[in-house]
């Protein structure tokens, strides 16, 4: 599926802000990565993003114990997008041997990279399971998990973490050194602590300290809502690439836009309203096929809301979508909303996406999906 071509050339010769990363067994041609997001980056979303030019995507966070049991739902979460390039599966857990076995299962199912989650702030994971960001509080145990996982598989193992548990324990630089010693090939740092969850503003400059502490490639994550954000995040962090999370809500084309801007200095046009509509319908159909009609109807509601954010009449539209009881009713509602906008030639302006981005930055997921 093609999108609009760039509308503006750089004023002078542009030095690319990113370069390929060789992980030894996997190569990331342009390190602009769609973040793993539970309940969002399912296979249909990852395929849409890849089809629209995302250089790399990561699976949803997957519980290691469920992966070892080869739970049917879990294995479905780990399915590979099929677009070629390095397919990464993210695992979470607190038992080194279970993490190691889960990594082996992931590789057997096609993963070219295994990513370890030390960043999830959710209470169920970080407190209830002593996993995710809780592992940043125990560097010795964290090292055991990293080492066991690396030894278990022949593919590169990467790590995603936060700055630390709270502002009294900003230990990401030290954990990056430990990760390097354990054989980890790349680290991604979200510029918030676990205590912050998704509040406040991501500290891109903090990531520069992580970059200085290790020879590993470092990816900066948090509050990257557009191409210019990505460039500024790289400038402040000295990182080797960017990972995009909530900024991609309803914008599966964003990773391509960011990669293009970082490589060429050309600020791409936003997709037209007709292109948005076509993308949404393709995404909706893929969700129904992957999840089944009834689950797909329910799971797609938030995605439809994100696509429409900022368009004229979108608030009323989202109410109707959330009350659609059948797939047919939902599709009719989508058509009734988008087709007049396409006919009228409503422009998809950069400001519209800034609005959606601000909601993502503030963590206002309910406002986006309401």
Residue-level pLDDT at 281: 98
CA–CA distance, 318 with 3 (Å, rounded to integer): 25
pLDDT in tens, 140-183: 999 999 999 999 999 999 999 999 999 999 999 999 999 999 99
Query: Token pair 């990561």 is at which residue?
Result: 58
Residue of 213, 221, 170 lying closest to 194 (CA atoms): 170
HSE on the CB side for 245, CA within 13 Å? 28
3-class state of residue 231 by DSSP: helix
User: Quick count: other Cβ atoms within 10 Å of Cβ 314?
Assistant: 17
Nearest Cα to Cα of residue 90 among 262, 245, 254: 245
Alpha-carbon distance 351 to 37, whole Å? 25
Residue 11: its pLDDT value, please?
A: 52
pLDDT in tens, 287-309: 999 999 999 999 999 999 999 99
pLDDT, one tens digit for every residue, the chain (370 residues) = 556 555 555 556 789 999 999 999 999 999 999 999 999 999 999 999 999 999 999 999 999 999 999 999 999 999 988 887 789 999 999 999 999 999 999 999 999 999 999 999 988 897 778 889 999 999 999 999 999 999 999 999 999 999 999 999 999 999 999 999 999 999 999 999 999 999 999 999 999 999 999 999 999 999 999 999 999 999 999 999 999 999 999 999 999 999 999 999 999 999 999 999 999 999 999 999 999 999 999 999 999 999 999 999 999 999 999 999 999 999 999 999 999 999 998 876 544 444 444 444 454 443 332 2
Quick one: pLDDT at residue 1? 54
pLDDT for residue 9:
54
Task: Give dist(CA 96, CA 309) in Å, integer.
Answer: 42
Distance CA 238, CA 233 (A): 8
21-264: CATH topology is TIM Barrel (3.20.20)
| pLDDT tens string 76-106 | 999 988 887 789 999 999 999 999 999 999 9
Q: Which of 308, 352, 300, 351 is nearest to 326 (CA)?
A: 300
Tell me which residue has tokens 């936003």.
Answer: 270
Q: Which residues are catalytic?
A: 120
Measured distance CA(263)–CA(82) in Å, rounded: 25
Nearest by Cα to 91 from 75, 81, 82, 83: 75
- The residue extents of the domains of the chain are 21-264, 273-369
3-state SS assignment for residue 346: coil
**Tokens at 178, concatenated:** 């430990």
CB-side exposure of 206: number of CA atoms within 13 Å?
Answer: 21
Provide the whole-model pTM. 0.91
336 CB burial (10 A radius; 0-12, 13-18, 19+): exposed
Contact 190, 165 (CB under 8 A): no
């Amino acid at each position: 599926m093609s999108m609009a071509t760039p509308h503006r050339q750089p004023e002078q010769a542009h030095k690319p802000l990113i370069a390929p990363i060789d992980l030894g067994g996997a190569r990331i041609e342009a390190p602009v990565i769609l973040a793993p997001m539970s309940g969002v980056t399912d296979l249909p979303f990852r395929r849409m993003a890849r089809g629209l030019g995302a250089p790399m995507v990561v699976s949803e966070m997957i519980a290691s114990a469920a992966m070892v049991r080869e739970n049917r739902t879990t294995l479905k979460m780990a399915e590979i997008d099929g677009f070629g390039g390095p397919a990464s599966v993210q695992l979470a857990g607190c038992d080194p041997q279970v993490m190691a076995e889960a990594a082996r299962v992931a590789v057997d199912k096609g993963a070219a990279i295994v990513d370890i989650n030390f960043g999830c702030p959710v209470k169920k994971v970080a407190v209830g399971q002593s996993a995710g960001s809780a592992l940043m509080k125990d560097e010795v145990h964290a090292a055991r998990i990293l080492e066991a996982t690396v030894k278990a598989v022949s593919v590169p193992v990467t790590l995603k973490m936060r700055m630390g548990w709270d502002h009294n324990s900003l230990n990401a630089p030290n954990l990056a050194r430990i990760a390097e010693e354990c054989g980890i090939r790349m680290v991604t740092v979200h510029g918030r602590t676990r205590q912050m969850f998704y509040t406040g503003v991501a500290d891109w400059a903090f990531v520069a300290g992580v970059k200085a502490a290790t020879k590993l490639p470092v990816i900066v994550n948090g509050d990257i809502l557009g191409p210019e954000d990505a460039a500024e995040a790289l400038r402040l962090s000295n990182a080797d690439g960017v990972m995009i999370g909530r900024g991609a809500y309803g914008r599966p084309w964003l990773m391509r836009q960011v990669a293009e801007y970082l490589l060429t200095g050309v600020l791409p046009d936003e997709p037209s309203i007709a292109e948005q509509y076509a993308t949404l319908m393709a995404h909706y159909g893929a969700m129904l096929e992957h999840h089944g009609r009834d689950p797909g109807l329910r799971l797609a509601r938030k995605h439809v809301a994100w696509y429409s954010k900022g368009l004229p009449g979108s608030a009323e539209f989202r109410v109707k979508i959330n009350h659609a009881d059948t797939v047919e009713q939902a599709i009719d509602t989508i058509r009734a909303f988008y087709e007049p906008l396409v006919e009228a030639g409503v422009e998809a302006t950069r400001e519209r996406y800034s609005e959606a981005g601000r909601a993502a930055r503030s963590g206002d997921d309910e406002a986006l999906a309401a």
